[in-house]
């Protein structure tokens, strides 16, 4: 099958949707499908051979974050050329109503379209205003997928219709085999955070506020921080007794990220909101690293309601500190979480998830019609009988 995947966000910038699209492309290729990915790209050097640039990206405030997207006449021409030369059996568009190449691809495509919703967001004036425009694209979509119940609810409440729930995947084979970074994890306990450091909802400030209390209980504790942003700004916030405990890695490759996971006793996810899933939690679990996450609904689902990861009260540095201190003091509990996390991550391996996505492709290409509610029930029934992570609501 010839599959066209559309990523609305800059391929050069790390992010959950970009990671999902890349990993899905690789998994589909392993299953024998021919795949091409279209994405905005600020840096077109060293692109994988299956990625086609939709042109440079511009920064836009979207869903509580700064997203780098592409739009405009030049982008429209690139989208149409890619669709024409690709001659895809199915087009799979991610975040179809984002103001970027996703909605442009929906407007321009002529064949079967599958769309995946990743984000969860509350109703807003902007969403209400864009509804008529979005509908002109969504009426062409034959199959709908949501990566989480939160993302599905966003679709239902804002746009109408429903979706098959197929979660994010993780390439379990890519994690857990790396050597730790030089000098890590050390004797005094180590924590790891990855995310855009200057984006408030990623929660690094919450973790840094908790760090002095953690250090009082564990004087040798250190923190690894990976992700783009103004490092010097964050260094300036830290007291002399804390700054030496924090190592900022900046933007890292997937290989270094895999090393950082195994360099930590605990992966901390202090995200404050706007998360519909939590792929980084699965990466940590696949690495054999214990997870401590804020008690967002999306994170609790990934950690199987606390069975595969510990939690703390969202935006509460004191509770984060108490939870981290307890875990650092309890190697038996950390080992239990590592073992449970490894088992949980296997349920989301891309080998399994990609096959579920292909079932939706088959449905829309064989029938050439929209996925009906009856079909949705049939697909969910088949998926539910084989994997406990599919939400049937």
Give the model confidence (pLDDT) of 209-251 as tens digits: 999 999 999 999 999 999 999 999 888 888 888 999 999 999 9
Does 121 score more than 90 pLDDT?
no
Is the pLDDT at 381 greater than 90? The verdict is: no
φ, ψ of residue 388 to 5 degrees: the values are: -75, -5
Task: Grade residue 372 by pLDDT with cuts at 50, 70 and 90.
Answer: very low
pLDDT for 295 equals: 97
**Confidence label for 44 from pLDDT (cuts 50, 70 and 90):** confident
Q: Does pLDDT of 374 surpass 80?
A: no
For residue 263, give the nearest of 193, 341, 334, 180 by alpha carbon.
180
Residue 373, pLDDT > 60, answer: no
pLDDT value at position 128?
A: 57
How confident is the prediction for the chain on average, in pLDDT? Answer: 88
- Residue 61 pLDDT exceeds 90: no
- CA quadruple 172, 174, 175, 177: dihedral sign: positive
Between CA 25 and CA 28 the distance in angstroms is: 5
Q: How far apart are CA 270 and CA 324, in angstroms?
A: 12
- The torsion region of residue 32 among left (phi > 0), alpha (psi -120 to 50) and beta comes to left
Instruction: Name the residue with higher pLDDT: 387 or 172.
Output: 172
Q: Measure the CA–CA gap between 331 and 323, rounded to whole angstroms.
A: 13
Tens-place pLDDT, residues 308-331: 999 999 999 999 999 999 999 999
Domains and CATH numbers, the chain: 2-169+349-386 (3.40.50.2000), 172-346 (3.40.50.2000)
Classified as helix, coil or strand, 148 is coil
Phi-psi region of 375 (alpha: psi -120 to 50; beta: other; left: phi over 0): alpha
H-run or E-run covering 73? helix 73-86
pLDDT-derived band of residue 42, with 50, 70 and 90 as boundaries? confident
Stretch 22-46: mean pLDDT, rounded?
94
CB 107 within 8 A of CB 61: no
pLDDT at 155: 84
Asked if 71 and 104 touch (Cβ cutoff 8 Å), the reply is yes
Q: Is-contact 226 260, C-beta < 8 A?
A: yes
CA distance 322 to 378: 45
Mean pLDDT of the 364-368 span: 72
Burial class (CB in 10 A: 0-12, 13-18, 19+), 100: buried
Q: What is the mean pLDDT of residues 162-174?
A: 92
| pLDDT at res. 236 | 87
Backbone dihedral region for residue 118 (phi beyond 0: left; psi -120 to 50: alpha; all else: beta): alpha
Tokens at 191, concatenated: 């924590």
The most confident of the ranges 9-18, 21-30, 44-53, 237-246 is 21-30
Distance CA 339, CA 288 (A): 7
* 331 SS3 class: helix
Please give the Cα distance from 346 to 18 (Å, whole number).
Answer: 21
């Amino acid at each position: 099958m010839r599959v066209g995947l559309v990523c609305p966000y800059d391929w050069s910038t790390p992010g959950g949707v970009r990671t999902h699209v890349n990993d899905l492309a690789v998994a589909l290729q392993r299953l024998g499908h021919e795949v091409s990915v279209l994405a905005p790209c600020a840096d077109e050097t060293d692109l994988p051979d299956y990625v086609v640039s939709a042109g440079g990206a511009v920064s836009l405030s979207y869903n509580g974050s700064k997203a780098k997207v592409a739009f405009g006449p030049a982008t429209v021409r690139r989208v149409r050329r890619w669709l024409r030369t690709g001659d895809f059996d199915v087009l799979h568009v991610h975040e179809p109503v984002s103001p970027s190449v996703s909605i442009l691809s929906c407007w321009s495509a002529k064949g079967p379209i599958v769309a995946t919703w990743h984000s969860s967001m509350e109703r807003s004036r902007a969403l209400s205003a864009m509804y008529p425009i979005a509908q002109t694209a969504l009426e062409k979509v034959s199959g709908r997928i949501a990566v989480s119940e939160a993302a599905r609810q966003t679709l239902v409440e804002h746009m109408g219709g429903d979706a098959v729930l197929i979660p994010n995947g993780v390439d379990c084979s890519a994690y857990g085999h790396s050597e730790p970074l030089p000098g890590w994890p050390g004797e005094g306990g180590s924590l790891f955070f990855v995310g855009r450091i200057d984006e408030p909802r990623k929660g690094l400030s919450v973790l840094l506020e908790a760090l002095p209390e953690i250090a009082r209980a564990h004087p040798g504790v250190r923190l690894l921080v990976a992700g783009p942003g103004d490092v010097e700004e964050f260094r300036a916030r830290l007291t002399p007794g804390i700054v030496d405990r924090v190592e900022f890695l900046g933007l890292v490759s997937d290989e270094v990220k895999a090393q950082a996971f195994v360099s930590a006793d605990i992966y901390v996810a202090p995200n404050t909101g706007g998360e519909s899933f939590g792929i980084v939690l699965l990466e940590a679990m696949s690495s054999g690293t214990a997870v401590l996450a804020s008690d967002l609904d999306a994170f609790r689902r990934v950690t199987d309601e606390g069975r595969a990861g510990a939690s703390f009260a969202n935006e509460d540095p004191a509770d984060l500190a108490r939870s981290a201190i307890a875990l650092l003091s309890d190697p038996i509990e950390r080992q239990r979480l590592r073992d449970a996390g490894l088992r949980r991550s296997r349920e989301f391996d891309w080998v399994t998830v990609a096959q579920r996505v292909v079932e939706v492709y088959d449905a829309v290409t064989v029938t050439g019609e929209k996925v009906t509610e009856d079909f949705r029930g049939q697909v969910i029934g088949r998926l539910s009988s084989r994997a406990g992570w599919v939400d049937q609501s």
